[in-house]
Amino acid sequence: MRTKIVAGNWKMNKNLEETEALLAELAAKLPDTRAEVVVAPTFVNLSTAVNHLENSIIQVAAQNMHFAEDGAFTGEISADMLLNIGVETVILGHSERRSLFGEDDELLSKKVKTALVKDMKIIFCFGEELEDRKSENHFAVVESQLKNALFGLNKADWKQIVLAYEPVWAIGTGETASPEQAQEMHAFIRKTIAAAFDAKIADEVTILYGGSVKPNNAKEIFSKPDVDGGLIGGASLKCNDFMEIVKAI
């Protein structure tokens, strides 16, 4: 049985007071669930989140990190800094990091390696652009994103990896991949991993879908056999919406 996960990527939203208010509401309203629930507030509020959620099963993730141990990297955050405040999960490769901050497969592969050395859990994001899908290159693009960042790993490393397929054209646009499109890609991802590693790893890795998941479409998307949950942006900023999505798993 694969681990089900619903993760909220808060992006650059919520100041301290808003963060505290949303965390309190989430902790109070979290329904009984078989899923792991994760929230990723902005860096400056991670400590607050860890403290607030001390007695909750909700986990805290960072939205990014640097690959270096420490040093002259102005404005960056290291794995040890995250671990030191109790954050053991990191989102890497989000499409906004790729497109707005120039993170490419080579850089992401370094970040993945560091996170693994530090024994962190990684939510690794990838997905094709609209152009890729229109030109029917989406499978090739996804395969190369996975290959370049993850296919150099050892088999044992996969225990720490969660995949998040996020077609760029569906992020923040209100346009969702259809449940069939999500299923088709998730099945392809498993097939690709089985070929590069083995069937057991492919079968056991949790693959989330992300891109305009909302309370009204979550159930149908999550009902697909290869979809193990979601990475939620906009809808994770409202407690009731996020809780409805958690209930949908």
Residues known to be catalytic = 94, 166
Give the DSSP letter of residue 223.
Answer: T
Site string for ligand PGA, 7-46 (x = CB under 6 A): --x-------------------------------------
**Candidates 50-58, 82-90, 145-153, 232-240; binding stretch for ligand PGA (CB under 6 A):** 232-240
Contacting ligand PGA (CB under 6 A), which of 146, 212, 217, 249? 212
Residue 125 tokens read as 């994001």
The verdict on 64 binding ligand PGA (CB under 6 A) reads: no
Instruction: Kindly tell me which of 194 and 220 has the beta carbon lying closer to ligand PGA.
Output: 220
Contacting ligand PGA (CB under 6 A), which of 232, 239, 243, 245? 232
The verdict on 210 binding ligand PGA (CB under 6 A) reads: yes
Q: Which residues pair with 161 in a beta bridge?
A: 122
Cβ atoms of 128 and 121 within 8 Å: the answer is no
Kindly determine how many residues on this chain lie close enough to bind ligand PGA according to the rule CB under 6 A.
Answer: 13
The verdict on 211 binding ligand PGA (CB under 6 A) reads: yes
Instruction: Kindly tell me which of 41 and 234 has the beta carbon lying closer to ligand PGA.
Output: 234
Cβ atoms of 201 and 157 within 8 Å: the answer is no
The verdict on 171 binding ligand PGA (CB under 6 A) reads: yes
Bridge-based pairing state of the strands 59-62 and 229-232: unpaired
- For residue 248, the SS3 value is coil
Q: DSSP labels for 67-101?
A: SSSSSS-TT---HHHHHHTT--EEEE--HHHHHHH
Contacting ligand PGA (CB under 6 A), which of 116, 161, 189, 213? 213
In three-state form (DSSP H/G/I as H, E/B as E, the rest C), the secondary structure along 52-67 is HCCCCCCEEEECCCCC
Instruction: Kindly tell me which of 9 and 45 has the beta carbon lying closer to ligand PGA.
Output: 9
Contacting ligand PGA (CB under 6 A), which of 157, 166, 228, 241? 166
Give the number of residues written for the chain: 249
Cβ atoms of 153 and 109 within 8 Å: the answer is no
Q: Which residues pair with 123 in a beta bridge?
A: 91, 162
Contacting ligand PGA (CB under 6 A), which of 233, 241, 245, 248? 233
Instruction: Kindly tell me which of 201 and 224 has the beta carbon lying closer to ligand PGA.
Output: 224
Residue 124 tokens read as 């690794």
* Residues found near ligand PGA in the complex (CB under 6 A): 9, 166, 171-172, 210-213, 231-235
